[in-house]
């Protein structure tokens, strides 16, 4: 951890449990981490706040890029899907969908890596829980690595970019066990689609249910801060 | 031009002469064009205004994505390089550099294409005038096409994305002759790094010099609107 020539890495950090665990793994592998959050109007401010707080806790150089993707989202970000943070109650809350999401995220991470002189990117995609998304597959990641080499001066000078996806084959329970082993306090991560301004989870939405199940499967106590006590 | 099933294309449109010519070529090839401009704090508002006006002139569905890339730019967008729009006089004006620029632009264009169901992207890169940039080379473009197929549901369902770069082997004079042939009024494009609020060029900066030389080489009258008469 205190090696003199610690390599730098850019870690995409949303403030959720997957990217937070990815940060722990990047640190564990000896990288000096620059964390990058993208505010594209997703969910709520609490998740971005959680990302910034995690970055501060682990002394990472943290960057926030704000982008207004309403012009691109088309149907997914406009009238026909309710805005997640205002959706009440017990029903399924659709995540704000961003087309070509991981391509955009990795492109920005590549830009930061290029300006820092870093060659390593970390992204917390999983092919287990989200197998429906094409841009979570190893073939996509490998293709982006190749693109990165062609897109940048560092690449043309013989450098090679690596896109690390340490969670790609892990279940939610595996992820939680991994973070737990590395000392991550999951109370500092946000999964809930409608967390309040203090970052407390609703305990009722799909994201909360998935998270709760993950803790149960992992045999780890769920210390998520809820807005009110919800039944286990 | 009025075929019933005109395919849709996303055209990256900055408001400069290269992307405007690219739009003319996309139209000429029979595409129904959706234009996309990215406001990442570059240059001045006049260029984005020119893009919007061109899109309106050719009845394109125009989209603007605003992003704040200051957090990523590192040295290039911060203190050690003067902000282009406020740089006075006759000296070289550095363009605001955006790391991994074309990767970011194409990722956003891909996102829009995905949400529109379009398979064709147009970008006005040239390997002639900007041969120093790795992300203007055909190998980069080919790699992005491959990535696009892997990144999207359309791609995994057998669809193929094409990234058209019709200017890639053209000189500035070639580009101007092409646009001229297709009826483009170059007065509606902005090249100057310090155009005024009315979109009039300074006539003195490097971009103006390159543009003026292009018109001279093409044997086309330069009708660029200048802030004051500059000597030819």
pLDDT at B8 over 80: yes
pLDDT at A196: 85
* Lowest-confidence region among A16-25, A28-37, A164-173, B147-156: B147-156
pLDDT at A61: 96
pLDDT at B81: 44
What does the alpha-carbon distance between residue B123 and residue B50 come to, in Å, rounded to a whole number?
A: 17
pLDDT, tens digit (0-9, with 9 covering 90-100), for B165-201:
999 999 999 999 999 999 999 999 998 877 888 889 9
Closest CA to A138 of A114, A98, A102, A177: A102
pLDDT at A230 over 60: no
Is the minimum CB–CB distance between B69 and chain A shorter than 8 Å? yes
pLDDT at B75 over 50: no
Residues of B in contact with A100 (CB under 8 A): 107-108, 110-111, 114, 151-152
Nearest residue on chain B to A157, alpha-carbon basis: B134
Classify residue B68 by burial, with Cβ atoms within 10 Å: 0-12, 13-18, 19+: middle
Is the minimum CB–CB distance between B63 and chain A shorter than 8 Å? yes
Per-residue pLDDT averaged across A52-58, rounded? 97
Is the CB of A134 less than 8 angstroms away from the CB of B143?
no
ipTM confidence: 0.86
Is the CB of A104 less than 8 angstroms away from the CB of B100?
no
pLDDT at B92 over 80: no
pLDDT, tens digit (0-9, with 9 covering 90-100), for A155-214:
878 889 999 999 999 999 999 999 999 999 999 999 887 788 888 998 888 788 889 999
More confident residue, B146 or B85: B146
Classify residue A3 by burial, with Cβ atoms within 10 Å: 0-12, 13-18, 19+: exposed
Structure tokens at B204: 């003195």
| CATH of region B8-218 | 3.40.50.620
Interface subset of A 150-179, CB within 8 angstroms of B: 150-153, 155-156
Q: Across the A/B interface, how many CB contacts are shorter than 8 Å? A: 147
Per-residue pLDDT averaged across B3-11, rounded? 85
Nearest residue on chain B to A71, alpha-carbon basis: B63
Give counts: helices (H), strands (E), chain B.
Answer: 8, 5
pLDDT at A75: 38
Interface subset of B 114-133, CB within 8 angstroms of A: 114-116
Ordered strands of the B61-68 beta sheet: A162-164, A120-122, A8-12, A32-39, A61-68, B61-68, B32-39, B8-12, B120-122, B162-164
Q: Mutation test of the interface with chain B: which of A147, A148, A149, A157, choosing the one with the most B Cβ atoms within 10 A? A: A147
pLDDT at A162: 97
More confident residue, B42 or B102: B102
Residues of A in contact with B74 (CB under 8 A): 112, 115-116
Is the minimum CB–CB distance between B108 and chain A shorter than 8 Å? yes
pLDDT at A11 over 80: yes
Residues of A in contact with B107 (CB under 8 A): 100, 103-104, 106-107
pLDDT at B140 over 50: yes
Nearest residue on chain B to A40, alpha-carbon basis: B67
A214, A174 in Cβ contact below 8 A?
A: no
Structure tokens at B176: 């101007």
Per-residue pLDDT averaged across B7-14, rounded? 97
Is the CB of A115 less than 8 angstroms away from the CB of B144?
no
Per-residue pLDDT averaged across B28-45, rounded? 87
Nearest residue on chain B to A101, alpha-carbon basis: B111
Partner residue facing B151 (CB), from A108, A115, A135: A135
Helix crossing, A45-57 with A17-28: angle to 10°? 20
pLDDT at A134: 83
B154, B16 in Cβ contact below 8 A?
A: no
What does the alpha-carbon distance between residue B18 and residue A160 come to, in Å, rounded to a whole number?
A: 31
Partner residue facing B107 (CB), from A74, A100, A143: A100
Structural domain boundaries in chain A: 8-189
pLDDT at B181: 96
pLDDT at B82: 44
Percent of chain B that is helix, strand, coil (3-state, to 5): 45, 10, 45
Ranges of H-type helices in chain B = 17-28, 45-57, 70-73, 101-116, 138-151, 153-156, 172-181, 206-218
What does the alpha-carbon distance between residue B12 and residue B121 come to, in Å, rounded to a whole number?
A: 8
Q: What is the mean pLDDT of chain A?
A: 84
Is the minimum CB–CB distance between A146 and chain B shorter than 8 Å? yes
Residues pairing with B9 in the sheet = B33, B120
Is the CB of B72 less than 8 angstroms away from the CB of A110?
no
Nearest residue on chain B to A67, alpha-carbon basis: B67
pLDDT, tens digit (0-9, with 9 covering 90-100), for B123-135:
999 887 555 678 8
pLDDT at B28: 98
Residue B63 three-state SS: strand
Nearest residue on chain B to A152, alpha-carbon basis: B134
pLDDT, tens digit (0-9, with 9 covering 90-100), for A107-154:
999 999 988 999 999 999 988 755 567 888 999 999 999 999 999 888
Is the CB of B99 less than 8 angstroms away from the CB of A76?
no
| CATH of region A8-189 | 3.40.50.620
Q: What is the mean pLDDT of chain B?
A: 84
Residues of A in contact with B103 (CB under 8 A): 107, 110-111, 147-148, 151
């Amino acid at each position: 951890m205190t090696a003199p020539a610690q390599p730098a890495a850019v870690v995409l950090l949303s403030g959720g449990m997957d990217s937070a665990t990815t940060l722990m793994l990047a640190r564990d592998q000896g990288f000096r981490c620059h964390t990058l959050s993208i505010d594209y109007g997703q969910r709520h401010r609490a998740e971005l706040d959680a990302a910034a707080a995690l970055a501060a806790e682990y002394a990472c150089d943290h960057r926030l890029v704000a982008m207004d993707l309403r012009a691109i989202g088309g149907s997914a970000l406009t009238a026909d899907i309710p805005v997640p943070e205002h959706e009440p109650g017990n029903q399924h809350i659709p995540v704000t969908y961003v087309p070509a999401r991981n391509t955009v995220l990795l492109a920005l991470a590549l830009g930061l890596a290029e300006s820092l002189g870093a060659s390593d990117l970390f992204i917390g995609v999983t092919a287990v829980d989200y197998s429906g998304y094409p841009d979570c597959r190893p073939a996509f990641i490998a293709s982006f690595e190749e693109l990165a080499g062609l897109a940048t001066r560092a690449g043309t000078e013989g450098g090679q970019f690596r896109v690390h996806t340490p969670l790609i084959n892990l279940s939610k329970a595996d992820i939680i066990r991994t973070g737990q082993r590395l000392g991550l306090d999951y109370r500092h991560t946000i999964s809930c689609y409608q967390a309040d301004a203090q970052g407390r989870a609703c305990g009722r939405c799909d994201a909360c249910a998935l998270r709760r199940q993950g803790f149960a499967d992992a045999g780890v106590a769920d210390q998520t801060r809820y807005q009110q006590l919800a039944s286990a």
